A and B are shown apart, each in its own frame.
Chain A
Amino acid sequence: MHNKLVKLIKATIIDLIVALLVTAFLLISLKIFFGQEIDLVFGIANTISINTENKTTKEAKYDANANKLTSYPEYGTQYATIQIPKINVDLPLFFGDTMEILKKGVGHSSGSYFPGEGGSVICMGHNSKNVFRRFGELQIGDEITIKANYGEFKYEIYDMQIVEETETYKLPIQENEEKLMVYTCYPFNNIGYATQRYVVYANLVK
């Protein structure tokens, strides 16, 4: 009986080893013949696998001597607040200008400079009641303040214009002088799709 058991165990172990060798052979063959395709599939899978854990938000850092940011905020994050006391506006200012950002507050065009960098700063917001519904009440001389985590910047309005949405040249990006341009959709009481923008132009005063 003991002999039979030993024979059984030996025979079974041999068969198990054979099975593992077959498995290893198949896995290696798959890797050799389809390795590129397998890597491509894993690559695609990892592209759509987004890790949102332990994500730290980059903060903006400013070098006042160079008039330049040394570290820019992450796209889509709030880096400042924008205050317009005349029309009771005190809203978060986000880096970026997507629809999702404009739902949360005021957007900062990623193609323009940051406050303090000495160039054109372009911001935009909806003309909804929570954002810029009272934009039309602004006048020359009114103040706009941007309080960033790296400093506070005061601007004074010197002009207002109504522009077509395609007339982007009326919001020029330049690096010689710090100018703030803030715009919203126009007409303010438009119902439906607005094709014009109401732009206020302001100079940096402090």
Chain B
Amino acid sequence: MKLAIKILKAVLVLVLTAVIIGIVTIKVASSTILDEAYAHKMLQTSKYYDNLHEEIKSAFENYIGPSGIDEIILDDVCSVEDIQKDTETILGNIYEGTDKKVNTDEIKKRIIDKINQKVKEQEEIITDKMQASINKFAETVADEYISTISHTEYEEKINEAYKKITKIVEFSQKALFIAVAVIFILLVALNIKKIYYIASNIGIALLSSGTFITATYYIINSKVKVSQFKILNNSISLVLQNIVTDILNMFVNIGWILLAIGIVAIIVGNIIKIINTEEGKKKERKWKN
């Protein structure tokens, strides 16, 4: 019977460890990549809008060469504020489930007006064929802008993934907190005669989860070079690097805290155990005497 109780306690501690790791993972995810405010903060700190503005200007330059147009025509057709506004539209589609489209009418109009102005300054007449060619050029450049801002081929997949993940997270959060409550009640029931044992049990669970999280951090860092991540373009790569580094640092900090609290709980639990054991022995000796 005693053995069975010990085994049951061990299993509960194991499950509690897994539950604590699960809760930490969900809390970190909810306060980082699943949080719109966090996304905005990381974009700002990574200077995403300024970097992307430079990338868009560079992408526009690809169209200058074959177009016969002076480079200055595409200067200032889109500003950092335009990019920020459109990026916020895309983030709103992901995090708030809206379905707004990035509007490039203003960019197209600026390009067409600038080219027409330049042609008029050169005292040339804009024929219908030339205007059609100019309009087609403005549309191509606007499409390049949308493609660079939103990478439309991935937008739908990201939106769907976000909806699925938030559903899983909501369900898991409730399930894990119920699990913690049930495990705690069971541990109290199993340790009802010597309630101070529960401190050691919880301490072991906290220490194990802290060690697991910290070990995972070092394993990930040894296998992956986050600072060398490159996807889509340099601006997005930098944001991704910063987000992943931030999340990993958050994890390892929580891991160390759990580790420390676990050790303290174990020591405190054992101190109380020893004190109570000694007092129990003293009472026994008194009774015998």
Interface segment, A66-74, A95-103, A108-116, A169-177? Answer: A95-103
With contacts A15-B200, A16-B207 taken as known, whether A22 is within 8 angstroms of B267 at the C-beta atoms is: no
Within 8 A of B (CB), among A86-142: 99-100, 102-103, 126-128, 131
**Contact among B66, B136, B270 for A185, CB-based, below 8 A:** B66
Q: Which of A168-198 contact B (CB under 8 A)?
A: 185, 187-194
Q: Is the CB of A27 within 8 A of B228?
A: no
**CA distance in complex: A139, B282 (Å):** 114
Complex Cα distance A83/B157, Å?
A: 49
Known: A15-B203, A49-B224, A191-B134. A127 touches B231 (CB 8 A): no
Asked if B14 is at the interface (CB within 8 A of a chain A CB), the reply is: yes
Q: B134 and A99: CB pair below 8 A? A: no
Q: Are B224 and A42 in contact (CB under 8 A)?
A: yes
Q: How large is the interface on A (under 10, 10 to 19, 20 to 34, 35 or more residues)?
A: 35 or more
* B interface size (C-beta, 8 A): 52
Chain B residues whose C-beta falls within 8 Å of the C-beta of A50 in the assembled complex: 228-230
Given the complex, which residues of A lie within 8 Å of B208, measured CB to CB?
19-20, 22-23, 26
- Whether, in the assembled complex, A7 has its beta carbon less than 8 Å from a beta carbon of chain B, the answer is yes
Which chain A residue shows the least CB distance to B223?
Answer: A42
**Cβ of A4 under 8 Å from chain B:** yes
Q: B278: nearest residue on chain A (CB-CB)?
A: A4
Using an 8 Å CB-CB cutoff, how does the interface string of B104-135 with A read, 1 for contact, 0 for none? Answer: 00000000000100010000000000100111
A81 vs chain B, min Cβ distance (A):
19
Is B67 located at the chain interface by the 8 A CB criterion?
yes
Give me 19 A-to-B residue pairs in the complex whose CB atoms sit less than 8 angstroms apart, sorted by A's number. Answer: A7-B274, A11-B270, A15-B207, A22-B205, A22-B208, A23-B212, A27-B216, A100-B62, A103-B61, A103-B62, A126-B65, A185-B65, A185-B66, A190-B67, A191-B69, A191-B130, A192-B137, A193-B133, A193-B136
Which 10 pairs between the two chains have the least Cβ-Cβ distance?
A: A126-B65, A192-B133, A192-B137, A99-B62, A22-B208, A19-B207, A11-B270, A185-B66, A49-B228, A23-B211
